[in-house]
Chains A and B, each alone.
Chain A
């Protein structure tokens, strides 16, 4: 490639990167972020976005330049130069993506490991999905789990154990690690609060777990994201984050 065309490709690349960056920044992509875990997810999101903008602008600038510059003139029946390959270039475009991919793997793994932890002082909350409603239950401190791993729910039944406080909404205290223990009664459902960036399927007969640490007071949608039948679209409720004192008052109320 001659220096002149290299500069032109670079100019196009910078222009396209600027456009892609504008799309990334000015479109409100991510919903509000209301959990500690969400912060890590967003970091990975922007890390991957930066790499993707880089790849996109390289690929797009080369193709835009090539397609404009190397159009066949009308009535030009000649062939292009017989270039069969170039070992150096081929190694380059194998190794650079490999390095980028490894970087994304490392960053994602670290974020995943942190988000997956069950901190020692976490509060236990149990969540049951059934067609087409959520039941959230708060077991008393130190209560013993049954053989399925739940305090408040018995397998196959929608009943909540009388020792537990229960609610159709997910009530959470601010800035407290919460470990959700999920299961389902009939078919697979999925716990999702976009503002928390955390999602976990609730599977009948299984216990799945996920950690949420709310960092913002407020009222967020809590929706089912696994197709669970006719009422799937309506299986929506709220996740409500309260201050610790208000939460304690709510929990103590009958």
Chain B
């Protein structure tokens, strides 16, 4: 019997043969249709790979791993297994490598996976910088170079920043609202396992040249790229589906699973941030999925969405693409705003300044974020009048963003600031985000944008907001919740060394890009005018230091996870709910559901409580009686 369970039970063995089986089915469909239609050649590998490897095989993999078992059993009218929680929680390390419905396990799965892809994407960036250290073409051919920066950006955006936030929120959000898990644990497990599929597809595009049109994948260039471009189009579908499912899960969890007493105005700002982010994701992400399907259909099925000669419209691609990809920059920063609020309030020992305005400015960014997409297209040739309203909304976003920055500063004012590693990252984020925000104002002003569009000024700006912004908050979050997630303390000294090395190397790498950008160095080139040579050499050297700094992080995390000192339940003396349970938390988070009685950041208010537990209530009654 045991060999049957081995082969047929959910797990990696079934995943292996079902991946092969589904590849075979996809292969059969393509070859069968071509044989019946009498098309030549019979074995048309572009179609076979698109259908069998990029579409069918991942479904087989997920089914084999057991992502659909419960739903399929139900759909086929079989008796569904009663929930015995055997697929919930991690007892052994192998439990992290299977379908697991525990949001805490999924959170750790997310974070470690995204760190892996972050390191991969960082290596690609250093290869790019190696090529750019000298003005001449040195190491790689133009096609490879175009793929290096395309895959770098795609991994960082779709496989690191967006899912890393989803992972951190997966871990702490249910804890913060006093819920035993996410609303849909099985969907949660599925959305995690979609992610590595997208990542592996993007990385394997190197074996099939063609994904060299940048992560923006503008048509008609992307339509004319060699076959490998399909890898990007399909990887975005898998990663995007993962993103949408997680966002739906967050929305339902936040709306329906808050502990008694947890009103919207008592939610920690991280929960607010993920609420607004999830709305952005569910509304916007289908647009990038659509744009990539259009590109793929134009090349595989010879549709003419973007072929002007046959009535298509190339600018249509950009409108659809940016209708996702501008909100996407808020998807990549709002959760970071949430993390910064948690860390800065706790480490300053003060309530967050202007809590309601902080939450409302998230909502303002959410709404305005949908009305600015065409500011990426000021030189694209769209209707010229459209640039004015887009400039107005773009610059208006500076107002709610400014409110947030000022409020963080006001939160530190007169506080008792503890410069722990998470706080350093959070403050580093505020300072770098101010610079990125100011360069964003230059880009919002249309005449300046026309001059610096598609130059290194843009590269500098996106890295200040995405690396100095999003990445710094991700690290703030990882260090802040590491004790909660692993039950161990990280090494504080190494954490600080990591921060300062990254902070300095980051600025030396990216600040000079503003200068060479304004002076006219275009982006996405492997060779450039020698007048920019010395700055580029400085940038390249600094970027290698920047890359190296993350090895300290990896070392610190690995060693501390294995044999760091035991973490107390509440090392930062935080007031939000995740700190009121043990580190790591019990299997279902709370032995009893907490009753929320106050605001989450009442530092310095004597006698204030965010939540009480039954045991506390008894004690309180005793106190009142006495």
User: A: which residues have CB within 8 A of B?
Assistant: 27-31, 38, 40-41, 44-45, 48, 51-52, 55-56, 59-60, 62-63, 66-67, 70-73, 76-86, 89-90, 93-94, 97-98, 101, 104-105, 107-109, 111-112, 115-116, 155-156, 186-188, 190, 192, 194, 197-206, 208, 221, 223-234, 236
Contacts and interface: CB of A to CB of B under 8 A. Distances in A.
B248 interface: no
A232 B407 CA distance: 45
Interface string B585-610: 00000000000000000111100000
Interface stretch (B271-279, B285-293, B434-442): B434-442
A105 B409 contact: no
Contacts of A203: 308, 314-315, 380-381
Contact of B448 (A45, A89, A98, A192): A45
6 contacts: A55-B434, A104-B441, A206-B315, A230-B143, A230-B146, A233-B527
A31 B520 contact: yes
Contacts of A231: 142
Interface stretch (B3-11, B158-166, B389-397): B389-397
Contacts of A94: 399, 402-403
B299 interface: no
Nearest to B512: A27
B454 A199 contact: yes
B223 to A, nearest CB: 9
Q: What 9 A-B pairs come out closest when comparing CB atoms? A: A205-B308, A194-B520, A233-B525, A79-B604, A80-B350, A208-B381, A225-B454, A82-B604, A72-B416
A205 B314 contact: yes
A230 B431 CA distance: 38
A228 B438 CA distance: 30
Given A45-B448, A109-B391, A188-B218, A81 B414 contact: yes
Most A-side CB within 10 Å, residue of B349, B430, B515: B349
Contacts of B418: 72
B529 interface: yes
B379 interface: yes
Contacts of A232: 142, 524-525
Interface stretch (B51-59, B192-200, B353-361, B540-548): B353-361
B497 interface: no
Contact of A70 (B417, B427, B430, B451): B417
B447 A41 contact: yes
Interface of B: 142-143, 146, 212-214, 218, 220-221, 224, 308-309, 314-315, 348-351, 353-357, 379-381, 384, 387-388, 391-392, 395-396, 398-399, 402-403, 405-407, 409-410, 412-419, 427, 430-431, 434-435, 438, 441-442, 444-448, 450-451, 453-455, 515, 518-520, 522-529, 573, 602-605
B388 A233 contact: no
Contacts of B224: 186-187, 229
A90 B520 contact: no
Nearest to A1: B413
A250 to B, nearest CB: 25
> SS class of chain B's interface: helix, strand, loop or mixed?
helix
Contacts of B522: 192, 223-225, 233
A63 B143 CA distance: 46
Nearest to A93: B406
Nearest to A207: B381
Most A-side CB within 10 Å, residue of B315, B380, B396: B380
A79 B602 CA distance: 10
Contacts of B405: 59
A115 B449 CA distance: 13
A105 B395 contact: yes
Nearest to B519: A31
A233 B526 contact: yes
Nearest to B310: A205
A115 B356 CA distance: 43
A48 B395 CA distance: 12
B580 to A, nearest CB: 17
Given A83-B414, A105-B395, A97 B402 contact: yes
A231 B212 CA distance: 12
Nearest to A63: B409
Contacts of A112: 387-388, 446-447
A221 B573 CA distance: 59
A229 B226 CA distance: 11
B348 A204 contact: no
Contacts of B416: 70, 72-73, 76, 78-80
Contacts of A226: 218, 454
A108 B442 CA distance: 10
B528 A233 contact: yes
Most B-side CB within 10 Å, residue of A70, A116, A221, A224: A70
B518 A98 contact: no
A52 B437 CA distance: 10
A207 B445 CA distance: 24
A199 B379 contact: yes
A93 to B, nearest CB: 4
B159 to A, nearest CB: 22
B520 A108 contact: no
Contact of A108 (B308, B430, B446, B453): B446
B451 A197 contact: yes
A92 to B, nearest CB: 9
A203 B455 CA distance: 19
A83 B214 contact: no
Given A44-B447, A201-B380, A225-B453, A98 B399 contact: yes
A228 B216 CA distance: 12
